[in-house]
Amino acid sequence: MSIIGNWHRFSNRRRVGSYTGLCPGEDSSGNTRIQRCVTKHGNPRLRAALVEAAWRLVRFQPDYRAVKKWRHLLAKEALATGAARKKAIVAVARRLAVELWRIRTDRVSAAQLGLII
């Protein structure tokens, strides 16, 4: 994705998730920890492209690890609400962003991740 530019500028997967805005926000104080919705920091077009790519993964790459993990919510016949499906697809999109970073920085190959190119 040309929106990201140089993939090597990210030192770890957390920074990739933060850059895309697909990681959850958090409010914490003392022993209380509350997770909020995604932060939406970063480029909205990148986020939209990742979510659309995640939906394509669900349809055309059913053996991908993240899709397998969330299949019970993402399948067409699933008894999940729309909100649950959206949360699951955002989780798949974040995982996809991290996996793309791993591929582009030569940490792993697409075949090792279960992606068919």
Q: What is the pLDDT of residues 53-89, one digit of tens each?
A: 999 999 998 888 888 888 888 877 676 788 888 889 9
pLDDT of 112 over the 90 cut: no
**The whole model's pTM is what?**
0.83
94-100 contacts: CB < 8 A, separation 24 or more? 94/17, 94/20, 94/22, 94/23, 94/50, 95/65, 95/66, 96/50, 96/53, 96/54, 96/57, 96/66, 97/16, 97/17, 97/20, 97/22, 97/50, 98/13, 98/16, 98/17, 99/66, 100/1, 100/7
Q: What is the pLDDT of residues 9-62, one digit of tens each?
A: 888 888 888 889 888 888 888 888 888 888 888 888 999 999 999 999 999 988
Mean pLDDT calculated for residue range 3-14: 83
**pLDDT above 80 (res 2):** no
